Amino acid sequence: AQSVAQPEDQVNVAEGNPLTVKCTYSVSGNPYLFWYVQYPNRGLQFLLKYITGDNLVKGSYGFEAEFNKSQTSFHLKKPSALVSDSALYFCAVRGGIRNAGNMLTFGGGTRLMVKP
Amino acid sequence: GAVVSQHPSWVICKSGTSVKIECRSLDFQATTMFWYRQFPKQSLMLMATSNEGSKATYEQGVEKDKFLINHASLTLSTLTVTSAHPEDSSFYICSARAPQGIHQPQHFGDGTRLSIL
């Protein structure tokens, strides 16, 4: 079975400082990893994905994530946080085995609070 | 591109009412759509996978007769919560995967907040 862990319920960052939202995963086969952001009373917006290739993936709104196979991690990062980045962030994984099909497994979510 | 529209965004109704939620892919065809449920301050829980032209695949613990899913066309899936009760109150979100390949991200609707009185 595949699983995702986001160890921090909330991350607090001052505006202009770098931010990191942590994610670790467990999956059989090669992982396909995704980050989504959710604003209040809205659905999820896709930020970035890792399928194969470079371990550092760049996505929307200046976010990037680093795939680390040995640590089974896919932490989300941004060099300089904005107040408007405050939202709920979800990490998700899809297993690489054929029978995993299309199912995404989500982490519990991390609330990012960026203070002015 | 890859816009998913979900309607209605908010529903308040009496216990015993059946509620239909629509999920549309506006600019692409989606053979597969997904229905999730999200409780306050919690993650998304996959309820079912909706397959165009065939029966939906439900996750363990999800009642098929309670949550009816119909995916009659390549751009529309509906979720009907039958005889809704207060415990069915939740935020329901649909998603669809663009057809270019299984590695493409899912695109989500804005969700439907269902409140049963």
pLDDT in tens, A14-28: 999 999 999 999 988
- Chain A residues with beta carbon closer than 8 angstroms to that of B22: none
In percent, how much of chain A has pLDDT > 90? 76
Give the model's pLDDT for residue A2: 82
Closest CA to B21 of B65, B61, B70: B70
pLDDT tens digits for A28-74? 888 899 999 999 888 899 999 998 889 999 999 999 999 999 999 99
Q: Is B101 on the interface with A (CB under 8 A)?
A: no
CA dist., res. B44 & res. B17, Å (int): 24
**What are the structure tokens assigned to B96, written together?**
């669809």
Give the Å distances, CA to CA, from B57 to A102, B52, B85: 12, 11, 23
Q: Rounded distance, CA B55 to CA B62, Å?
A: 14
Residues A104, A25: Cα–Cα separation, whole Å: 12
**B88 Cβ contact list (under 8 Å, min separation 6):** B66, B81, B114, B116
pLDDT tens for each residue of B33-83: 999 999 887 888 999 998 888 889 999 999 999 999 998 888 999 999 999
Interface of A with B in 17-46 (CB under 8 A): 32, 34, 36, 41-46
Query: Chain A within 8 Å of B100 (Cβ-Cβ)?
Result: no
CA distances from B79 to A60, B15, B65 (A): 31, 17, 11
The structure tokens 């976010």 sit at A63
DSSP string covering B32-84, please? EEEEEEE-TTS-EEEEEEEETTSPPEEPTT--TTTEEEEEEETTEEEEEETT-
How many helices (H) and strands (E) in chain B? 0, 11
B111 touching A (Cβ < 8 Å) = yes
Mean pLDDT, residues A85-108 taken together: 80
Rounded Cα distance between B61 and B89, Å, is 17
